[in-house]
Amino acid sequence: MLTRSGVVVRDQTVLLRRINDDPHVMKKLMQELLKIKVAPYYLFDCKKVDGIRHFGVPIEVGLNILKKIRGFTSGMAVPTFIKHVPDARGKVPVYPDCD
C-alpha cells in the first residue's frame, strides 16, 4: 500500500446530488478516509457537462456541508471546496461564511 511506504495520499471528491450531498454522509466519508491514511483534500463542485448535469447541486449545498462538518470533526477531515469557473485558470476555492 502506498501509505505504508510513506507516500502521502490525498482524496479529491466530487459532490454529487443524492450520492454524497448530505453533511452526515460527507463527514463520515472524510473521517473514514483519514482512518485509512488518505487526506481529504478537495471537494469539487460537479462540472456542468453533458451526461452528468443531473448530478450537479447548487454551490450553497457544498458550502452548507462544509459549514456543518467544520467544528464537528477534525480539521484534517474538512476538504477545500473547489468551484470550476468558466474561463478561469486552475481551481477556485470557495469558503463558507464562518459565523
Q: Which three cell numbers stand for residue 26?
A: 460527507
User: In a structure prediction context, what are the per-residue pLDDT tens digits for the chain, which is 99 residues long?
Assistant: 788 898 999 999 999 999 999 999 999 999 999 999 999 999 999 888 889 989 999 999 999 999 999 888 888 899 999 988 777 677 889 988 866
- 35 Cβ neighbours under 8 A, 6+ residues apart: none
pLDDT at position 75? 87
pLDDT at position 63? 94
| Domains of the chain by residue range | 8-94
pLDDT at position 99? 62
